[in-house]
Structures are given as C-alpha cells and as structure tokens.
Amino acid sequence: MELRLFRILTIILSFFFLTGFVPILSFVGPGVTAITSGNIFKASAQYIIDQRIQKETGKNSLTLIKETLAEQTDKKIKKNSFDDDLRQLVETRIKMTRQKLDNQNLQKLLKKRFEVTRSILDLNNTTQ
C-alpha cells in the first residue's frame, strides 16, 4: 500500500515539476505559511499580494525584488564611479593650480634674485 502511494505521489510531483507547471510554486509559499503559522488569513493575503504583483508587473514577487535590488546596486556603483571621477578631476585641477602657483613664485624669486645680482654687480650703470 505504501509503495503504491509513493508511486502515485512521485508521478504527480514529476508531472508538476517536469511539465513546467510553475504556478504550483505560488501555492507552495502560502501553503507553508498556513501550515507553519496556522494563520489562513496571512497565507491568503500572501497569495493575493503575489498574484496582484504578477498581474501588475508580469513578474512574480521574487523576480521583482531581485531585479529591484540589482538596479539599486547598479545605481550605487554608478554613483560611486561618478564620485571617483569627480574626485580625480578635482585632484588633477588642484595639482595643476599648485604647479602654476609654484611657477609664478619661482619666477618672482628669480626676478628678485636678478635684481639683487644686478644691484650687487651694478650692471645697470655699466656701459660696454
């Protein structure tokens, strides 16, 4: 008797899983909720919400959540990439500005040194 029941159960389960009968999974979740918690209302609400999401988006709730999380992760990566690019651009501009300021200060220092050297050597009053 047990062997016969096992065969029938195996045939039914293989029919559901091998023929691509996916909607059975939408009954499994609420069924598990109803069995574990004993709350039929909670299981019914879970099933109704899942069906509504599937009707609105064409995707089941698990796929919808997975894609939403993937989009949020992509946005964070793009934002971090933008922040890195902006930081690199600002650092480059700061380096260029520092270099220009250093060159200006060097030119001022050289002018001053030339003036001091000319005054010491008195090159301004000398004629050749």
CA dist., res. 50 & res. 52, Å (int): 5
Residues 6+ apart with CB under 8 A from 37: 43
Write out the chain's pLDDT in tens, 128 residues.
Answer: 788 888 888 887 777 677 665 566 666 666 676 677 667 777 777 778 888 888 888 887 778 888 888 888 888 777 777 777 888 888 999 999 999 888 888 888 888 888 888 888 775 565 55
Q: Write down the pLDDT at residue 73.
A: 83
Q: Are 47 and 26 in contact (CB under 8 A)?
A: yes
Backbone angles phi, psi at 4, to 5 degrees: -65, -40
Q: Which pTM does this prediction carry?
A: 0.34
**Domains of the chain by residue range:** 1-58, 64-128
Of 62, 60, 66, 52, residue with least CA distance to 23: 60
